[in-house]
Structure 1
Amino acid sequence: MKTVTGFASATIGNVACGFDVLGFAIREPGDEVILTLHDSEPSTSPVSIKAIHGDGGALPKDPKKNTSSFVVLKFLEYLRTHKDIDFQGHIELELRKNLPLSSGMGSSAASAAAALAAANELLGSPCTKMELVHFAIEGERVACGSAHADNAAPAMLGNFILIRSYNPLDLVTIPPPQHLYCTLAHPHIEVRTAYARSVLPRTIPLKTATEQWGNVGALVSGLLTSDYELIGRSLVDVVAEPKRAPLIPGFYDVKNAALEAGALGCSIAGSGPSVFAFSSSKETAEQVGSAMKEAFSTIEERLDADIWVSPVCHEGARTL
């Protein structure tokens, strides 16, 4: 019997203007997945779920319906068909959910990436991280019905990830500026990803699209050249944020509080309800966090919010 624990941290998708094509990972918090390899082969599935902690009973324990176990099943299929590795044992999975569900923090992507990191090491590291990304993305389809990569890819690979193409998958890794810090505020409410996607327009005017493209290009340029002012000017979303802001009580109050506290820019993390901001120092990022928490607490709904301050995570999913 052999046991390996995988870890993958929270991620922020979209990064304001980069809807479905840009995301990054932070260092904490994150999910842990513990895999135990048994010699005996079960009669039903090569992967079973022993326990799930921290989800309040919300996540399914069917291996084909749970994101973390589903990606391991896909990984085993790939080993058999592409690596000529015929797995005969049984993998028992235990999931520790440290990320809140429906939070905009890449919760499902973290579970998938952590499970894949553990499974790969458990079986002798037959795959590269880039190969594992494909399975992590498919896990998103199980979680929310859409196989997007802006959380799954950075959860697996770390850094900023630009998705140049989905077919074929073409990922560009962008290392973060040295002094860039993220403040992440998670109010204690849920916004379902599927619902947050349903409020988006199916078409947008060419003028709006052009403005969004300009911001994406400038944001990438700012990251590559460590131009913090350009990063701030480019962190503008004219497509998703206007539609999703009403789903987050007090969003604009929180955003204004972050900017007044010195943030470079601020927007919705993924599909929400979490909100993130960039700063050019840890000290400023901590001040921004205090301002965001205070803003959430003083709106009519008086929401409590968890705050994390972190640089961008370079390494992505790993084993502990």
Structure 2
Amino acid sequence: MATSTPPAFANTPISSSRGYNLRQNPSIPRFYTIRSFSQASNSRAAAKSSASDPSPVFRRVESFAPATVANLGPGFDFLGCAVEGIGDIVTVSVDPSNPPSTLSISSISGDQRASFSKLSRNPKFNCAGIAGAAVMRMLGVRSVGISLRLHKGLPLGSGLGSSAASAAAAAVAVNVLFGGLLSQDQLVLAGLESEKKVSGYHADNVAPSLMGGFVLVRSYYPLELIRLEFPSHRELFFVLVSPEFEAPTKKMRAALPELVKREEHVANSSQAAALVAAVLQGDARILGSAMSSDGIVEPKRAPLIPGMLEVKKAAVKAGAFGCTISGAGPTVVAVVDDEEKGREVGKLMVDAFMVGGSLKASAVVARLDRVGARVISSI
């Protein structure tokens, strides 16, 4: 299998035409803004793409998209980050047996049968299929049909952005198959079509899975994303402890309050601001403390995850800077700045899940994924 450096796709550094570096001084933390196209410019881009009906530049493209930690405590629905080492793989191929402009799913596999046995091969009801088909429409593909293979490295309903990883990997693979014509923000929009059907219109998983690093969703209408740069010389590790327990996102979202008190809003806003500042300054200690301080979402979701409170106490007692629910759960995430310390914290969190919730659990210590979804092979 030959490898190749693909054309511009989801990982490509943001150009000045798509966003801007707010400060050029290297001593000041950097962050970038990506804005979605306006409706008019989207229409023009779609018309241009449709007129060209791009031909595939590869026969097959394989891509990987990482797991994500959304919310990070007080950043509900507007802040998330990507983590290294675990994620989903999508392979897309030109398929002459498929009708032009269509996408089919030829196979779904996974590291564990439970991670894929419930998934549909109907592309209209599969996250990878929905996102891949959305990219084909954006490109205006009319003359070629493609098939897609999905390998799930992430369990379903884990709180690690499983659906978003599938969508991100598919969006990148299909885009690169046809020459990488779409921009990063368009790929996020394609991924959001998938998220909307599965768990609601929120970008705090799919955006960091595509873009890497920390991503702040400044606005949904129109979509505006800010990528936050955690300093490369600072260490940051996430201790991800996943119990053998499924917490469907829709169920966990249904537990949230419709209204919050003013003092709760002020407190959470303050902690969210501290979280963003800590990311830009590379301060893992403040990042963990702010992450642990959600007073709105976590108190409603924690009772739905057996042992969650005991696990959080164990993590902090063991030396973690902070601990909270990853996404909608049930995975619990703690933050440290030393990998060996992370392993110690993870072991005690696993024990706490058994003692406090009678649940078996596994722990992974992962670095921040600064790259996001990427092509791993093409031919």
Q: TM-score, normalized by length of structure 1?
A: 0.94
The 5 A counterparts of 1:15-94 are: 15-42=72-99, 46-54=102-110, 55-80=115-140, 86-94=141-149
After superposition, residues 305-320 of structure 1 pair within 5 angstroms as 305-320=361-376
SS at match of 2:143: coil
State the AA in 1 paired with 2:257. Answer: P
CA distance in 1, matches of 2:109, 2:154: 11
Which of 260, 267, 273 pairs up with 2:317?
260
**Aligned AA (2:308):** F
* Offset of residue 200 of structure 1: 0.3
2:242 to 186, 189, 192: 186
**2:70–2:327: 8 Å Cα contact kept in structure 1?**
yes
Measure how far apart 1:247 and its partner are.
Answer: 1.0
Q: Give me the whole-angstrom Cα distance separating, in 1, the residues matched to 2:181 and 2:305.
A: 43
The range that moved more, 226-235 or 148-157, is 226-235
What does the per-residue CA deviation read over 1:197-223, in whole Å, with 9 as the maximum and x for residues that have no partner?
A: 001000100110000000000111111
The residue number in structure 1 matching 2:158 is 103
SS at match of 2:86: strand
- Contact map agreement 2:128 2:194 (CA 8 A) in 1: yes
Instruction: Say how many residue pairs are matched.
Output: 312
Aligned counterpart, 2:331: 274
Q: Which amino acid is the alignment partner of residue 370 of structure 2?
A: H
1:215 to 256, 271, 274: 271
Q: Distance in 2 between matches of 1:226 and 1:283?
A: 19
User: Which letter does structure 1 place at the counterpart of 2:248?
Assistant: R
What's the secondary structure of 1:35's corresponding residue? strand
SS in 1 for 2:138: helix
In structure 2, runs of 5+ residues without a counterpart are 1-57
Shift of 1:131: 2.0
Cα distance in 2 for partners of 1:300, 1:307 equals: 16
Q: How does 1:164-183 map to 2 (within 5 A)?
A: 164-177=218-231, 178-183=234-239
Q: Give the letter for the 1:68 counterpart.
A: A
Q: Give the SS at the match of 2:313.
A: helix
In structure 1, C-alpha distance between the alignment counterparts of 2:158 and 2:138, rounded to whole Å = 31
Counterparts of 1:196-235 in structure 2, within 5 Å, are: 196-235=252-291
How far 1:128 moved relative to its partner? 2.2
In structure 2, the partner of 1:83 is none
Tell me the residue number matched to 1:139.
194
Matched residue type, 1:6? S
Q: Secondary structure at the match of 2:329?
A: coil
Asked if the contact 1:158–1:317 (Cα under 8 Å) also holds between the matched residues in 2, the reply is: yes
User: Once superposed, what is the RMSD of the aligned Cα atoms?
Assistant: 1.4
**2:123 counterpart SS class:** coil
- The residue type paired with residue 240 of structure 2 is L
The one-letter code sitting in structure 2 at the alignment partner of 1:57 is S
User: Given residue 230 of structure 2, which amino acid in structure 1 is its aligned partner?
Assistant: P
The one of 229, 236, 239 equivalent to 2:296 is 239
- Partners of 2:225 and 2:116 in 1: how far apart? 35
Match of 2:212 in 1: 158
Matched residue, 1:117: 172
Runs of 4+ residues deviating >4 angstroms: none
Q: Name the TM-score, length of structure 2 as normaliser.
A: 0.80
